[in-house]
Amino acid sequence: MVLLFAVLLVPLSTWTYLINSLNQPMAIKGDSTLFLVQPGSSLTRVANELQSSGHLRSSRSFIFYALVQGNAESIQSGEYELTAGITALEFLDKMIKGDTFQYRITLVEGWTLKQALDEIWSNPNIDRESTITGAESVATLLDLEVNWAEGMFYPDTYFFPKGTTDIDILRRANERMEQVLDEAWQSRLGALPYREPYDALIMASIIEKESAEGSERGHIAGVFVRRLELDMRLQSDPTVIYGMGDKFEGNIRREDILEETPYNTYRINGLPPTPIALAGIESIYASLNPIPSDYLYFVSRGDGTHYFSSTLDEHNAAVRRFQLQPR
């Protein structure tokens, strides 16, 4: 009632002038600038900071308008973008809606969890809240159904406000992966040698690391699926490399292939125990929709593509042609 009475006492011409002044573009240097509203800040503090920084002509007009409108207690903290041409009223509306500036981070297909964490922790706008020591601790922190978090995050670009934590990003990426994997599982092609969606995710991560050419993913999936169905070992080099960890120096030696690790698919039957990397949607789809053929082998041509073979003799000839002959 007091505010309403105050407004009634203000001449219409004065109120109109106030509205018009607040509808003028704020003073912004360049195309845009960022303005931080600290947690717990009052509207008065924000208005005074805007005026002292030269963005706002009159803090009193700004405060009075917000009080009359009943919005003085509704502003939200965060980092806001002031773009050229924005008015004081538009900025007030931004703060009321909590329309904060959004940073971005991209998690890339084929990355390991360690690479994803390095990218997250190198971003100055993300707070490191966790005591992460590896894939097992991530699984515990996020309360995952699996005890090793490798491959459980969807590679994509994520937008976030300043002050978002590493766990916030990981949780969003995990929830997105669960959603994508579930949708892909529902549309899978017939009977496949997987017990559950997690098996398909393991396969998708191997496909992701094996394929540089997107059009080949379905054929690579077909080779591995047929090998599982025939009780043949996958014999995938990327699984060997993952199992070697920090010992990998750029080349796989014969002794590496012979080494017993849980991930060495030259030495173990079936799938490795967990994914080996972040799998994108194309690799997930390929793992659940392999292209039918009689291919059982493939070898790199050296240009990012592969030569596929149906018999061991044909494969060995391709290896001699593409891998052993001098270039």
Helix, strand, coil percentages, rounded to 5, for the chain: 45, 10, 45
Give the per-residue pLDDT at 276.
98
Q: In sequence order, what are the beta bridge partners of 157?
A: 106
Q: Are residues 43 and 116 in the same domain?
A: no
Highest mean pLDDT among 127-136, 199-208, 315-324: 199-208
Between 220 and 212, name the one with better pLDDT: 220
pLDDT value at 118 more than 80: yes
Give the per-residue pLDDT at 5.
46
In the chain, pLDDT over 90 holds for what percent of residues?
78
Q: Are residues 84 and 132 in the same domain?
A: no
Number of domains in the chain: 2
For range 213-236, the mean pLDDT? 97
Q: Buried (b) or exposed (e) across 281-296, using 16+ Cβ within 10 A? A: bbbbbbbbbbbeeebb
Give the per-residue pLDDT at 72.
84
Residues 15-53: pLDDT tens digits? Answer: 787 888 898 999 999 899 999 999 999 999 999 999 999
Domain that holds residue 127: 102-293
Q: Which of 97, 116, 142 is the last residue of a domain?
A: 97
- Band (pLDDT 50/70/90 cuts) for residue 241 is very high
Residues 156-199: pLDDT tens digits? Answer: 999 999 999 999 999 999 999 999 999 999 999 889 999 999 99
Give the per-residue pLDDT at 4.
47
Q: Are residues 209 and 278 in the same domain?
A: yes
Does the residue 141 lie in any domain?
yes
Cβ burial, residue 320 (10 Å; 0-12/13-18/19+): exposed
Q: Are residues 279 and 176 in the same domain?
A: yes
Cα distance between residue 181 and residue 175, in whole Å:
10
pLDDT value at 326 more than 60: no
Q: Are residues 26 and 83 in the same domain?
A: yes
Does the residue 308 lie in any domain?
no
Q: Which of 69-78, 195-204, 231-240 has the lowest mean pLDDT?
A: 69-78
Give the per-residue pLDDT at 327.
53
Does the residue 304 lie in any domain?
no
Beta strands 157-160 and 103-106, pairing class: antiparallel
Q: Are residues 139 and 199 in the same domain?
A: yes
pTM: 0.87
**Cβ(293)–Cβ(309) under 8 Å?**
no
In the chain, pLDDT over 70 holds for what percent of residues?
95
Give the per-residue pLDDT at 317.
95
Does the residue 122 lie in any domain?
yes
Average pLDDT, the chain: 92
Give the distance, in angstroms, between the CA of residue 144 and the centroid of all CA atoms in the same chain: 17
Give the per-residue pLDDT at 3.
47
Q: Are residues 82 and 110 in the same domain?
A: no
**Cβ(44)–Cβ(60) under 8 Å?**
no
Cα distance between residue 288 and residue 272, in whole Å:
17
Q: Are residues 46 and 117 in the same domain?
A: no
Give the per-residue pLDDT at 9.
52
Cα distance between residue 75 and residue 92, in whole Å:
8
Does the residue 3 lie in any domain?
no
Residues 41-51: pLDDT tens digits? Answer: 999 999 999 99
Q: Are residues 137 and 231 in the same domain?
A: yes
Q: In sequence order, what are the beta bridge partners of 300?
A: 306
- Which residues are CB-contacts of 125 (< 8 A; sequence separation ≥ 6)? 103, 160, 162, 163, 164
Q: Are residues 226 and 135 in the same domain?
A: yes
In this structure, what CATH number is given to the domain that contains residue 30?
A: 3.30.1490.480
Does the residue 167 lie in any domain?
yes
Q: Are residues 173 and 86 in the same domain?
A: no
